């Protein structure tokens, strides 16, 4: 229907545009039907008012007509019911117990029609009942049983049946047969006068006896035709009466519908072809039935009867009275129409549908209305319209200008380290800074001053790192990644200055595929060359001139994974690479590379060669997946002692690289080897998590074990003679000695992050993710306060307003309440069996809202210092999973978004009711703003967004800015509000995966952002602001306090 088409713009459909959710569609239909009912009620009320006005005038008109023409008294006393039956009184409800009139509601009507003989329905089969005895009420053997209508409350629409009478009931010899008084559903006072008397008061000539007078056989009944309620009394005319059905010569009864406007004007409507209606006469029966017709035009109406001259009603004082009454009724109707118009204008959609109904006559195919400018605006996501209502304080939406905010972001701190899948990525610089990477950021962390600097020129995740022999220049390589359209970006290597963070050279743009896996500087020639191995299927190995940035040579390496590559410290033409089931010795000669494969001979060939170093004696030491340290040396080929895999190669070579010694070092893999300045060796184990110190001749000297919570040893860097730095597989960097043990200086998550919450009064924030870790961070000290591990993954979190407890939602529908001081679980609840996506306390702390993937929002009351929770209600109405929600400032209402781009509003204080009229919420003030869909954040969406491009957003507490986390590794900073599409913003890089969440700290001094797969947590410092220069197009009144800021205080700037 029309209402359904219009409502689909306001309420989003189900999981897809083609197959909407059934529940959502039913709700949309219900809303449309409610709007239609409201419209019909308004129209019906107007019609009833008009009928009441005319009904009130009838007694007065009768008095005046009798005073002017006394002979009219007899006709007036002979009343007519709405179906044309003459009677002296109305039939009581007890007088016709077997009959009920067939009544149709106005909504079922199609037009005004005359009623003719032979069309009366009866419950007992539709015939005329011939009783053997006299009627109890009428005293006649012949009674007409007709269906009785439901009683009406209004006298103007009274539908009680008038009793049927026989020929003996008609007054005097001039009684009118029943067949000729069957006129229309509603007879006016003029009809009553003209049917029985002329102008002179003489009775009209009696026509031929009708069927009922002749004792018909019960087969002739008049058909009731549906009549719409129209704002006037209809004037009818008598039609020709043909033979009854079943007779020899049958004629189809003729029913002519009168249009409302024709009835209102007081004359018969034209036919469909535009010609006036004419009586239809067929055969002798038609000729024998006289025709009585009434044509009225104005105050004087001619009446034709059987060819006689027309009779005219004289003008009299009653005409003046009728005219004055009509004028008064018009004035009353004008006021009533105005009240109906005001009812329709309350809802633009209802008003538009009313216009459509008027213009199309209620056609089911009428088009829906569009909202007028200044009330709402539509945005489209994946072709689906989403209606945004414009707040009342915005007068000229089109004149609003969007500009970037005066605030900006600067990267303050990076929490975490990438050790779970990268090697050789931890080095100590002469400045006392340890260099490592995470996501797209290369971090320079001063271990004594506890400060950080960041190199931010990479466009995707950094995968490898190398320090130049001068220990100033750094080479870092990245993965290819994809842009926002899914097209692959080209990977490259940057050579940059660690002191100034300036990029010196960009190498290999357009030459590498998928990404850069390993890089290494040459040492013998002071770092003139850079060796690069990419992540293509062939793992291309290339050598580059660092000063010129040009490629010297390139060769296919292997189809297996490559873990490391290094130049020989004494020979720049010698390169070694290792990886899965191989170790290759490369020789650069004449601009080309040739390789020799390491021969395992009698030793078991390991599945992986994890790492290698050059010893002080020039030997090559490798660590493998069997837990052994292998010593490799160059020797002449000996076919007798070689393994079968090397016999063919030895026939073409004079010398080979063979295993000279095997040393058992660890249980499980040897992940890293580090040569000490003293000549000794350090090894780090995987499974046993041990760090072992070896002498020059590989004799074990000391060892220590890394605590289990930090994972296995990934890489080792020497600080001084005793102190070491250890990077672990659980993304931690430890600092310590063999004597004192190791403590973490950098920690992070090890799997995808989603849950984020900031403390309401301190510079602290909490994170959770798929690694089941819950971490509380101190943003001021840049440290980890505590960490706890849950049984399930934490996906969302929120602090209570007091900051005493924090609630974490898990991926199984379970949620726990943790004490911030003791990290203990104080409460544990479960809602449904699907993952929870949002937790949100009300501003007053009395309620907790839990958004779930089962499409419900669960509401709890909070007590006992936020330690006791009681189910208050459940918000039911979304057709997809809940993504975001916010509380109003008065803690009574909730705004929520879902996975199918719905925006719904809920009255929590009123019983968790869905507010179907979203227009009423356009000026409501929200304590937080994290919903990604809404008028005030509409401008954050890029053109062509698919609905999942924005994962989270957060409005600052001072309501000046809004931060956005998108799917393209970017953090955006917009001004707030930003209600126009394509709003400009400040864009910041740093994450190497989709940004899952953002949140401002309690005083808006910092912004916290989290990456997904890159497991990174970035803390941004907010700089600038109102005094920092620049200008926005919105001004906010902050004369009182931040708590007074609201939508109502926003005004367009100049």
Whether residue 735 is predicted with pLDDT greater than 50 in this model: the reply is yes
Q: Give 278's pLDDT tier (boundaries 50, 70, 90).
A: very low
Residue 487 confidence (pLDDT): 79
Between 65-79, 794-808, 1011-1025, the lowest mean confidence (pLDDT) is in: 65-79
Residue 239 confidence (pLDDT): 38
Q: Is the peptide bond before 249 cis (omega within 30 degrees of 0)?
A: no
Q: Which residues contact 255 (CB under 8 A, 6 or more apart)?
A: 113, 114, 115, 116, 223, 225
Residue 113 confidence (pLDDT): 36
Residue 116 confidence (pLDDT): 37
Query: In whole angstroms, what is the distance from residue 147 CA to residue 883 CA?
Result: 58
Residue 175 confidence (pLDDT): 42
Whether residue 612 is predicted with pLDDT greater than 70 in this model: the reply is yes
* pLDDT tens, residue by residue, 76-103: 555 444 444 444 443 333 343 343 334 3
Query: In whole angstroms, what is the distance from residue 134 CA to residue 287 CA?
Result: 35
Phi-psi region of 631 (alpha: psi -120 to 50; beta: other; left: phi over 0): beta
Backbone angles phi, psi at 288, to 5 degrees: -80, -15
* pLDDT tens, residue by residue, 337-372: 444 444 333 333 333 433 343 333 333 332 232 334
Residue 637 confidence (pLDDT): 60
Chain-centre distance for alpha carbon 873: 22
* Residue 838 in tokens: 């949002």
Q: For residue 80, what is the enclosing H or E element?
A: strand 79-80
Strands (E), 811-929: 814-819, 825-830, 836-841, 847-852, 856-863, 868-876, 882-887, 893-898, 903-907, 913-914
Between 51-60, 159-168, 556-565, 987-996, the lowest mean confidence (pLDDT) is in: 159-168
Residue 622 confidence (pLDDT): 96
Query: In whole angstroms, what is the distance from residue 781 CA to residue 762 CA?
Result: 12
Residue 942 confidence (pLDDT): 85
Mean pLDDT of 166-177: 41
Average pLDDT of the residues of the chain: 74
Hey, how many other C-beta atoms are within 10 angstroms of the C-beta on 660?
13
Q: How far is CA 737 from CA 681, 711, 730, 925, in A?
A: 15, 17, 20, 56
Q: For residue 427, what is the enclosing H or E element?
A: strand 427-428
Whether residue 202 is predicted with pLDDT greater than 60 in this model: the reply is no
Residue 947 confidence (pLDDT): 85
In the chain, % of residues over pLDDT 70: 64
Mean pLDDT of 107-124: 38
Residue 90 confidence (pLDDT): 38
463, 517 in Cβ contact below 8 A?
yes
Whether residue 464 is predicted with pLDDT greater than 70 in this model: the reply is yes
457, 494 in Cβ contact below 8 A?
yes
Whether residue 382 is predicted with pLDDT greater than 90 in this model: the reply is no
Query: In whole angstroms, what is the distance from residue 256 CA to residue 270 CA?
Result: 9
pTM of the model: 0.65
Residue 331 confidence (pLDDT): 54
611, 638 in Cβ contact below 8 A?
no
* pLDDT tens, residue by residue, 695-734: 999 999 999 999 999 999 999 999 987 899 999 999 999 9
Residue 709 confidence (pLDDT): 93
Q: Give 22's pLDDT tier (boundaries 50, 70, 90).
A: low
Whether residue 785 is predicted with pLDDT greater than 90 in this model: the reply is yes
Residue among 750, 723, 931 at smallest CA distance from 840? 931
Whether residue 791 is predicted with pLDDT greater than 60 in this model: the reply is yes
- Rg (C-alpha) for the chain, rounded Å, is 46
847, 909 in Cβ contact below 8 A?
no
* pLDDT tens, residue by residue, 830-873: 999 999 999 999 999 999 999 999 999 999 999 999 999 999 99
Query: In whole angstroms, what is the distance from residue 357 CA to residue 361 CA?
Result: 5
* Residue 28 in tokens: 């949309």
Strands (E), 918-1016: 950-955, 961-966, 970-975, 986-989, 995-1000, 1006-1011
Whether residue 287 is predicted with pLDDT greater than 60 in this model: the reply is no
Q: Please tell me what DSSP assigns to residue 528.
A: -
Residue 65 confidence (pLDDT): 80
Residue 210 confidence (pLDDT): 42
Residue 174 confidence (pLDDT): 43
Strand partners, 628: 664
Highest mean pLDDT among 28-42, 130-144, 351-365, 582-596: 582-596
Q: Please tell me what DSSP assigns to residue 539.
A: -
Residue among 292, 248, 313, 294 at smallest CA distance from 68? 313
Mean pLDDT of 998-1011: 96
Dihedral angle sign, alpha carbons of residues 382, 388, 394, 395: positive
In the chain, % of residues over pLDDT 90: 53
| Tally of CA atoms within 13 A in the half-sphere of 1034 that contains its CB | 31
Residue 77 confidence (pLDDT): 57
Whether residue 927 is predicted with pLDDT greater than 90 in this model: the reply is yes
Q: Give 72's pLDDT tier (boundaries 50, 70, 90).
A: low
Q: Give 285's pLDDT tier (boundaries 50, 70, 90).
A: very low
Q: Give 497's pLDDT tier (boundaries 50, 70, 90).
A: very high
Helices (H), 365-419: none
Whether residue 526 is predicted with pLDDT greater than 60 in this model: the reply is yes
Mean pLDDT of 427-435: 95
Residue among 166, 174, 201, 198 at smallest CA distance from 86? 166
Between 72-81, 281-290, 367-376, 681-690, the lowest mean confidence (pLDDT) is in: 281-290
914, 1036 in Cβ contact below 8 A?
no
Backbone angles phi, psi at 812, to 5 degrees: -115, 10
Q: Give 138's pLDDT tier (boundaries 50, 70, 90).
A: very low
DSSP per position, 182-242: ---SS--HHHHHHHHB-TTSPBPPP-S--TTTTT--S---PPP------SSPPP--PPP--
593, 584 in Cβ contact below 8 A?
no
Residues 405-431 as b or e (16 or more Cβ within 10 Å = b):
bbbbbebbbbbbbbbbebbbbbbbbee
Q: Please tell me what DSSP assigns to residue 254.
A: P
894, 904 in Cβ contact below 8 A?
no
599: helix, strand or coil: strand
Mean pLDDT of 615-636: 90
Residue 435 confidence (pLDDT): 97
Query: In whole angstroms, what is the distance from residue 20 CA to residue 534 CA?
Result: 47
Residue 37 confidence (pLDDT): 87
Highest mean pLDDT among 20-24, 768-772, 940-944, 1029-1033: 768-772
Hey, how many other C-beta atoms are within 10 angstroms of the C-beta on 92?
11
Q: How far is CA 4 from CA 25, 31, 33, 350, in A?
A: 9, 8, 8, 12
Q: Give 49's pLDDT tier (boundaries 50, 70, 90).
A: confident
Whether residue 336 is predicted with pLDDT greater than 60 in this model: the reply is no
Between 75-79, 287-291, 609-613, the lowest mean confidence (pLDDT) is in: 287-291
Hey, how many other C-beta atoms are within 10 angstroms of the C-beta on 698?
16
Residue 831 confidence (pLDDT): 94
């Amino acid at each position: 229907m029309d209402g359904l088409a219009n409502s689909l713009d306001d309420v989003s459909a189900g999981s897809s545009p083609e197959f909407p959710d059934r529940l959502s569609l039913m709700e949309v239909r219900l809303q449309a039907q409610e709007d239609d009912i409201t419209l019909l009620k308004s129209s019906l009320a107007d019609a009833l008012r008009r009928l009441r006005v005319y009904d009130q005038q009838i007694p007065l008109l009768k008095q005046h007509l009798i005073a002017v023409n006394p002979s009219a008294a007899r006709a007036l006393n002979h009343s007519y019911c709405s179906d044309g039956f003459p009677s002296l009184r109305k039939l009581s409800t007890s007088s016709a117990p077997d009959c009920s009139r067939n009544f149709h509601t106005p909504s079922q009507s199609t037009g005004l029609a005359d009623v003719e003989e032979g069309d009366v329905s009866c419950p007992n089969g539709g015939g005329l009942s011939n009783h053997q005895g006299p009627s109890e009420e009428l005293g006649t053997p012949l009674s007409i049983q007709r269906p009785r209508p439901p009683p009406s409350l209004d006298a103007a629409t009274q539908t009680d049946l008038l009793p049927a009478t026989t020929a003996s009931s008609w007054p005097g010899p001039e009684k009118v047969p029943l067949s000729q008084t069957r006129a229309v559903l509603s007879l006016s006072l003029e009809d009553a006068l003209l049917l029985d008397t002329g102008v002179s008061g003489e009775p009209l000539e009696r026509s031929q006896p009708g069927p009922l007078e002749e004792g018909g056989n019960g087969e002739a009944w008049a058909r009731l035709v549906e009549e719409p309620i129209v704002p006037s009394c209809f004037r009818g005319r008598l039609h020709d009466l043909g033979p009854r059905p079943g007779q020899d010569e049958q004629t189809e009864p003729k029913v002519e519908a009168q249009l409302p406007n024709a009835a209102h004007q007081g004359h018969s409507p034209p036919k469909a072809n535009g010609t006036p209606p004419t009586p239809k006469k067929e055969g002798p029966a038609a000729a024998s039935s006289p025709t009585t017709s009434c044509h009225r035009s104005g105050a004087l109406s001619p009446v034709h009867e059987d060819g006689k001259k027309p009779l005219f009603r004289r003008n009299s004082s009653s005409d003046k009275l009728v005219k004055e009454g009509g004028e008064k009724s018009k004035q009353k109707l004008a006021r009533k129409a105005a009240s109906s118009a005001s009812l329709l204008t309350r809802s633009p959609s209802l008003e538009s549908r009313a216009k459509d109904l008027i213009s199309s006559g209620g056609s089911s195919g009428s088009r829906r209305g569009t909202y007028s400018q200044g009330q709402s605006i539509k945005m489209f996501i994946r072709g689906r319209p989403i209606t945004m209502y414009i707040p009342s304080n915005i007068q000229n939406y089109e004149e609003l200008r969007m500009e970037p905010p005066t605030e900006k972001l600067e990267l303050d701190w990076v929490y975490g380290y990438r050790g779970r899948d990268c090697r050789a990525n931890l080095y100590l610089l002469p400045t006392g800074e340890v260099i490592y990477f995470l996501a797209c950021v290369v971090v320079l962390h001063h271990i004594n001053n506890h400060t950080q600097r960041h190199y931010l020129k990479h466009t995707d995740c950094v995968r490898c790192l190398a320090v130049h022999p001068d220990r100033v220049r750094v080479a870092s390589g990245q993965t290819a990644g994809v842009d926002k359209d899914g097209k692959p970006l080209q990977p490259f290597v940057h050579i940059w200055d660690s002191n100034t963070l300036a990029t010196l050279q960009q190498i290999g743009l357009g030459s590498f595929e998928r990404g850069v896996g390993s890089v290494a500087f040459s040492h013998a020639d002071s770092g003139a060359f850079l060796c690069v191995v990419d992540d293509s299927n062939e793992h291309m190995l290339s050598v580059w001139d660092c000063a010129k940035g040009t490629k010297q040579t390139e060769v296919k390496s292997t189809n297996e994974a490559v873990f490391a590559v290094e130049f020989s410290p004494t020979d720049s033409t010698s390169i070694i690479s290792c990886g899965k089931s191989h170790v290759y010795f490369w020789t650069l000669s004449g601009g080309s590379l040739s390789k020799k494969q390491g021969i395992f001979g009698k030793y078991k060939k390991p599945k992986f060669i994890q790492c290698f170093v050059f010893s002080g004696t020039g030997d090559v030491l490798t660590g493998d997946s069997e837990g052994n340290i292998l010593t490799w040396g160059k020797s002449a080929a000996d076919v007798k002692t070689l393994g079968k895999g090397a016999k063919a190669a030895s026939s073409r070579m004079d010398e080979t690289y063979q295993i000279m010694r095997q040393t058992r070092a660890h249980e499980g893999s040897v992940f890293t080897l580090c040569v000490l300045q003293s000549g000794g060796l350090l090894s780090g184990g995987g499974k046993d998590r041990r760090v072992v110190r070896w002498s020059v001749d590989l004799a074990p000297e000391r060892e220590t074990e890394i605590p289990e919570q930090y994972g296995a040893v990934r890489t080792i860097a020497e600080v001084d003679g005793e102190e070491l730095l250890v990077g672990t597989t659980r993304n931690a960097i430890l600092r310590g000695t063999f004597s004192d043990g190791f403590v973490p200086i950098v920690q992070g998550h090890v799997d995808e992050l989603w849950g984020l919450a900031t403390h309401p009064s301190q510079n602290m924030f909490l994170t959770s993710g798929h690694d089941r870790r819950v971490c509380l961070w101190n943003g001021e000290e840049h440290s980890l306060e505590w960490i706890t591990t849950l049984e399930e993954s934490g996906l969302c979190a929120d602090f209570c307003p007091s900051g005493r407890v924090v609630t974490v939602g898990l991926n199984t529908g379970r949620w726990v309440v943790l004490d911030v001081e003791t990290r203990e679980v104080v409460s544990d609840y479960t809602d449904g069996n699907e993952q929870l996506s949002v937790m949100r306390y009300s501003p007053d702390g009395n309620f907790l809202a839990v958004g779930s993937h089962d499409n419900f929002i669960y509401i709890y009351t909070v007590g006992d210092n936020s330690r006791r929770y009681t189910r208050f209600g459940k918000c039911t109405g979304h057709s997809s999973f809940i993504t975001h929600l916010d509380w109003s400032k008065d803690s009574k209402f909730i705004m929520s978004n879902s996975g199918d781009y719905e925006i719904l509003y809920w009255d929590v204080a009123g019983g968790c009711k869905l507010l179907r009229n979203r227009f009423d919420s356009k000026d409501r003030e929200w304590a937080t703003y994290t919903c990604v869909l809404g008028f005030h954040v509409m401008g954050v969406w890029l053109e062509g967004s698919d609905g999942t491009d924005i994962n989270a957003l957060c409005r600052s507490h001072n309501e000046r800015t809004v931060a956005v986390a998108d799917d393209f590794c970017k953090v955006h900073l917009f001004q707030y509000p930003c209600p126009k599409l394509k709003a400009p913003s400040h864009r910041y890089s740093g994450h190497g995966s989709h940004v899952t969440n953002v949140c401002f700290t309690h005083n808006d001094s910092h912004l916290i952002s989290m990456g997904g797969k890159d497991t990174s947590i970035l803390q941004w410092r907010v700089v600038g602001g109102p005094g920092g220069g620049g200008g926005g197009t919105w001004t906010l009144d902050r004369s009182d306090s931040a708590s007074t800021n609201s939508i109502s205080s926003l005004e367009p700037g100049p």
